[in-house]
Amino acid sequence: MTCIRLQRHVRLLMLAAAIPALGAISGCSTIVEERGYVIDKNDLERLQPGVTPKEEARSIMGSPSTISTIDGEAWYYISSRFETFAFYKPEETNRTVIALYFDRTNTVQQVAYYGLEDGAIVNFKDRKTPTRGKELTILGQLFSNLGKFNSGASGDARSTGRGTGAGGGRTATGGL
């Protein structure tokens, strides 16, 4: 009889340990985020190169994500998909860029599609520019200033009583 009770307690303990473990595993699922412009294929089909004016393209597509800096001759609609697993940084798994190119008459000249594979990866370095001189620790910086303070006898405006305060109206050089 006690052996059966012991087996029940062991099963209950195993079940009690398994429930938090299953909860922790389910918390490690992948989170998918869609960011940016929402692409609608029907809207893209309404754009006709050589026919659609710029104002109509804006009413169909909405405001672009970014506009080219040279005369606004290109509009870009950017959509990205990010996946996050557990506590790791989000990783971009898909990117779609729709580019609308306009001619000089402000008519859609071309509709282009770009993906993540079309982009160039630029590695930005976040290093600091080295400067001349010695690098001091915090203690070195604190102790390097000991003995470098003047007692006020060098003739500055505070030690001579000459200033621009309410007292005399004189400048630091002594003139009026």
pLDDT tens sequence for the chain (176 residues): 566 766 777 777 776 776 666 555 555 678 899 988 888 888 888 988 988 898 999 999 999 998 988 777 899 999 999 999 888 899 989 888 999 999 988 899 999 988 878 776 555 555 666 666 677 777 887 777 777 766 665 555 554 555 454 544 444 554 44
Could you identify the residue written with the tokens 């870009």?
Answer: 76
Give this prediction's pTM: 0.53
Coil, helix or strand at residue 175: coil
**Extents of the domains making up the chain:** 46-118
Coil, helix or strand at residue 34: strand
The pLDDT value recorded for residue 81 is: 92
Coil, helix or strand at residue 117: helix
The amino acid at residue 47 is L
Coil, helix or strand at residue 3: helix
For residue 90 the two structure tokens come to 């989000």
Cα 74 from Cα 52, distance rounded (Å):
14
For residue 156 the two structure tokens come to 């500055």
Tell me the H-state helices in the chain.
2-26, 41-46, 54-61, 138-144, 157-160
Q: What's the CA angle centered on 58, arms 56 and 62, to 5 degrees?
A: 135
The pLDDT value recorded for residue 176 is: 46
Beta-bridge partner residues of 57: none
